[in-house]
Amino acid sequence: MSLADRTGIATARRVVVKVGSSSISGENAHRIQPLVEALAAAHGRGVEIVLVSSGAIATGMPFLKLDERPNDLATQQAAAAVGQNVLIYRYQAALREFQIVAGQVLLTAGDLENPTHRSNARRAMDRLLGLRILPIVNENDTVATHEIRFGDNDRLAALVAQLIGADALVLLSDIESLYTCPPDQPGARPIREVAYGESLDDFEFGSTVVNSVGTGGAATKVSAARLAASAGVGVLVTSADRVAEALEGADIGTWFAANPAPTAAIPVASVN
């Protein structure tokens, strides 16, 4: 169903939540617990939840004795191979008290470009959700190359939301909402609603950044939100600290209204 506004998230049938590396790795690893509590509460209400979680490389870095994110692909792949295992363990440990089982789903851009792989991924996630498993999706960093990467998991989350026919996508950030310009600049104002097709050309969004643990930025969230909204998925951008409120339909964050008349699926070839 197409949600009229953010309040509909509380009663949505299927919701995708995306969390970034900086929110759940390193000194913020303890924030997995409140995130899981919010997901479990929604799951308990009958909502089908899919979590798109970054953080494999960042989680693996300490085990490889790396102080900052590696630049070369081979070391990124090695860190991801170690970190993905640890990350899923941490999620499952937090989910155990709620008697929820996690299912790991690793995708590449090539998987969503290939009709057979795309169909298999959709079928697998539909079945996981039907079995009340919580799919945890990430890019398959160990086999992805620079040429076929999604680029950031905001875009992956938008494509997953489209793939499984989600009602809403919640993109978690480190600030409560998007702003008309970087929030540390004078005159920055929060953006509360973005109507479908509304121009944002007058606003200034920070470009994609690469920090010590991950990639992303306001611009990637706007791009991902536009992509999902075009496919008929309402999108909320808000702080990871407010995920419980977001899933309860609270009046927070920036809401991107969905296309009221979505057409054919967006070509996945545009992911590069």
Q: Residue 250 corresponds to which tokens in the numbers above?
A: 């609270």
Is 153 a known ligand-binding residue? yes
Provide long-range contacts, Cβ within 8 A and 24+ apart, for 184-188.
none
Is 67 a known ligand-binding residue? no
Q: Which residues contact 101 (CB under 8 A, 6 or more apart)?
A: 92, 95, 133, 134
Is 141 a known ligand-binding residue? yes
Is 54 a known ligand-binding residue? yes
Is 18 a known ligand-binding residue? yes
Beta bridge partners of 256: 194, 235
Spatial separation of the C-alpha atoms in residues 61 and 79, rounded to whole Å:
6
Which residue from 245, 272, 255, 185 is spatially nearest to 34, judged by alpha carbons?
A: 245
Is 223 a known ligand-binding residue? no
Residue 242 DSSP symbol: G
> Can you give the length of the chain in residues?
272
Q: Are 113 and 268 in contact (CB under 8 A)?
A: yes
Instruction: List binding-site positions for substrate.
Output: 54, 141, 153
Instruction: List binding-site positions for ATP.
Output: 18, 173-174
Instruction: List binding-site positions.
Output: 18, 54, 141, 153, 173-174
